């Protein structure tokens, strides 16, 4: 295949799958709403099941639900028929995925689910299928065609199913008022979790803080800044911040004033009322403050007397 043919095939694949997503969007209706409300009010878990490619998509849907506030796990239908049905509680909702709606391994567990009193939500491409007819709620996988040129490999159908799962998860997040803090609790090892759960006090610099009095000369400012190795000096009085001088401030000052800059004091050079933050604030809050105020450092002050206890920098977050 030539470069043009490869790009054309790729573009056609995108187009076919986008058309299927648009068709499914138009088909969304009461069944989807009922599924969201039912899962939201359920006291149990959402157990997702599916075979083959549907199973792979199901695992991702289950993982997304679990990480966004809806307890969920994936159950392989073949393993379910050989003992894993013992994991299914009476209050659990079953989300079964099968484009044909005739996947044998899934159909075999339906009698048990009925006997156990479970609600069955089916995602299928065939409203007349056995799975659809045995489900309390059927959400259609409505595609124009598979993107596979042979129309054999699941492509459009798996994309649509994945997006339907994402839509379920997002609707449930909004219903439950799921926030960043909740997401962080389930992702403590991730970067977002660290920034939301960790506090400024855990990462701030506290040793050898570069503090100088307001009447210090430029030579002292440069010396203190070099020793502190934070690229700044804090102009302070009785442990409280009066202003801040950064290495950028010094460069600009020397460019403007040359040797005359050495006639100035720290009070003449500093930026007054520097940005400050409390030790108990989250790293995310510190990051937001630095970005919104276009600064690289915040002075950490402790209540009730606004005493300087540290410095947090964008490089620490």
- Sketch the domain layout of the chain as residue ranges: 3-178, 200-316
Cβ(86)–Cβ(101) below 8 Å: no
Q: Superfamily assignment of 3-178 in CATH?
A: Glucose-6-phosphate isomerase like protein; domain 1 (3.40.50.10490)
Can you give the pLDDT at residue 1? Answer: 86
Can you give the pLDDT at residue 256? Answer: 92
Question: Which of the listed CATH numbers 3.10.110.10, 3.10.580.10, 3.40.50.740, 3.40.50.2300 matches domain 200-316?
Answer: 3.10.580.10
Can you give the pLDDT at residue 147? Answer: 93
In angstroms, the CA 256 to CA 240 distance is 29
Cis peptide before 304 (omega within 30 of 0): yes
CATH topology agreement for domains 3-178 and 200-316? no
Can you give the pLDDT at residue 190? Answer: 57
Can you give the pLDDT at residue 88? Answer: 95
Cα R_g (the chain), whole angstroms: 30
Can you give the pLDDT at residue 189? Answer: 56
pTM above 0.75, yes or no: no
Give me the tens of pLDDT residue by residue for the chain, a chain 317 residues long. Answer: 899 999 999 999 999 999 999 999 998 999 999 999 999 999 999 999 999 999 999 999 999 999 888 999 999 999 998 889 999 999 999 999 999 999 999 999 999 999 999 999 999 999 999 999 999 999 999 998 999 999 889 999 999 999 999 999 999 999 888 776 666 666 555 565 666 668 899 999 999 899 999 999 999 999 999 999 999 999 999 999 999 999 999 999 999 999 999 999 999 999 999 999 999 998 889 988 999 999 999 999 998 789 999 999 988 87
């Amino acid at each position: 295949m030539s470069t043009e043919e490869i790009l054309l095939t790729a573009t056609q694949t995108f187009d076919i799958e986008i058309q299927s997503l648009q068709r499914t969007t138009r088909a969304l209706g009461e069944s989807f709403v009922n599924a969201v409300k039912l899962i939201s009010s359920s006291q149990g878990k959402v157990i997702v099941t599916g075979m083959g490619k549907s199973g792979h998509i199901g695992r991702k849907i289950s993982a997304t639900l679990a990480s966004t506030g809806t307890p969920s796990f994936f159950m392989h239908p073949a393993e379910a028929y050989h003992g894993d049905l013992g994991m299914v509680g009476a209050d659990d909702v079953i989300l079964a995925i099968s484009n044909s709606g005739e996947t044998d391994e899934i159909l075999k567990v339906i009698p048990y689910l009925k006997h156990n009193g479970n609600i069955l939500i089916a995602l299928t491409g065939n409203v007349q299928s056995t799975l659809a007819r045995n489900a309390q709620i059927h959400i259609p996988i409505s595609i124009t065609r598979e993107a596979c040129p042979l129309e054999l490999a699941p492509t459009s159908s798996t994309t649509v199913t994945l997006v339907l799962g994402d839509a379920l998860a997002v609707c449930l997040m909004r219903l439950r008022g799921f926030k960043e803090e909740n997401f962080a609790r389930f992702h403590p090892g991730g970067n977002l979790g660290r920034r939301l759960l960790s506090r400024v006090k855990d990462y701030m610099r506290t040793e050898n803080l570069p503090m100088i009095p307001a009447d210090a000369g430029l030579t002292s400012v440069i010396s203190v800044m070099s020793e502190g190795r934070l690229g700044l000096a804090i102009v302070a009085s009785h442990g409280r911040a009066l202003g801040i001088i950064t290495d950028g401030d010094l460069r600009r000052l020397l460019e403007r004033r040359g040797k005359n800059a050495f006639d100035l004091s720290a009070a003449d050079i500093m930026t007054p009322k520097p940005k400050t933050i409390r030790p108990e604030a989250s790293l995310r809050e510190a990051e937001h403050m630095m970005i919104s105020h276009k600064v690289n450092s915040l002075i950490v002050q402790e209540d009730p007397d606004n005493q300087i206890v540290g410095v947090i920098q964008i490089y620490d977050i």
